[in-house]
Amino acid sequence: MAIQSVGVIGAGQMGNGIAHVFALAGYDVLMTDISAEALEKAVALIDKNLERQVSRQKITPADKAAAMGRIATTQTLADLGQCDLVIEAATEREAVKHAIFAELVPHLKPSTILTSNTSSISITRLASRTDRPEKFMGFHFMNPVPVMQLVELIRGIPTDEETYATLLEVVRKIGKTAATAEDFPAFIVNRILMPMINEAVYTLYEGVGNVESIDSAMKLGTNHPMGPLELADFIGLDTCLAIMNVLHEGLADTKYRPCPLLTKYVEAGWLGRKSGRGFYDYRGETPIPTR
């Protein structure tokens, strides 16, 4: 089926990036959030990020104007009912996602493909609580969405071939590359990445190295562009912990046990960049390690 209109649920870090790339690729985008302020901030950030692309000559001013003209916002979830494709990019909590789908599903047209940008939660389980499990998929973008080239496509047990083929084409049209993953906890990227981050936190917890030495060792020793603790702060420590819990519970293997120090940082509200403190303190001019 042809996709022309896209609904994006959530105007946060992921939602605004998803809206950005779809609008730039020529799709009509309707973005929703419970917060009017979040929607305003998202549109302003998309404008700023598109302007950065113009300044780097990646796109033209006309491209930017056209993309901004394709983005609309609403606080009413039901307004997304007529979209051809809906991408849920709300918080990484399963109960929240179920509640969103329960409210949205009665308003969807029969042909709408419903997807989740979840980074770890079972697609089959999310799909089972909707009226269209065969038209439900995991559509996992990487952060920051306009920059990162990968999209993980995750098929649930009931996902039909037409839905998969349609989304494969959509990924191509937005200029990304798809990696198909089976529906197991955390899929491919986070199944590999999060235990590495968790092990870095254990390395800090056990005193093997401090924040600076751990991040420097991984950047210089393995040529990673960002150290694992710096990356954890960028992702959000609450998100890292949530994914580790999904892995631990879903695979029942002690190697996925979240580090107690990661739990403590989240309990303290030190969630990384978004809260001003995590493994680094971001409240000054330059980030300072907190351990």
pLDDT tens-place string over residues 19-64: 999 999 999 999 999 999 999 999 999 999 999 999 999 999 999 9
Q: What does the pLDDT read at residue 144?
A: 92
Over the stretch 224-235, which tens digit does the pLDDT of each residue have?
999 999 999 999
Q: Judge: domain 189-289, CATH 3.40.1260.10.
A: no
Q: What does the pLDDT read at residue 1?
A: 72
The question of whether 223 is a catalytic residue gets the answer: no
> Is 69 annotated to bind ligand?
no
* pLDDT for 95 beyond 80: yes
Catalytic pick from 94, 152, 198, 230? Answer: 152
| Mean pLDDT, residues 275-286 | 97
Mean pLDDT over each residue of the chain, to the nearest integer: 96
Over the stretch 126-155, which tens digit does the pLDDT of each residue have?
999 999 999 999 999 998 999 999 999 999
**CA atoms in the 13 A half-sphere facing the CB of 151:** 28
Catalytic pick from 119, 120, 122, 198? Answer: 119
Percent of the chain with pLDDT over 90: 97
User: What is the token pair recorded at 70?
Assistant: 């394709």
Q: What does the pLDDT read at residue 92?
A: 84
Q: What does the pLDDT read at residue 120?
A: 86
Query: How far is it between the farthest Cα atoms of the chain?
Result: 56
Closest by CA to 85, choosing from 107, 114, 109, is 114
CB 1 within 8 A of CB 154: no
The question of whether 140 is a catalytic residue gets the answer: yes
The residue ranges of every structural domain in the chain are 5-182, 189-289
| Mean pLDDT, residues 234-245 | 94
Assigned fold of 5-182: Rossmann fold (3.40.50)
User: How wide is the angle at C-alpha 104 spanned by C-alphas 100 and 109, nearest 5°?
Assistant: 150
DSSP assignment letter at 149: -
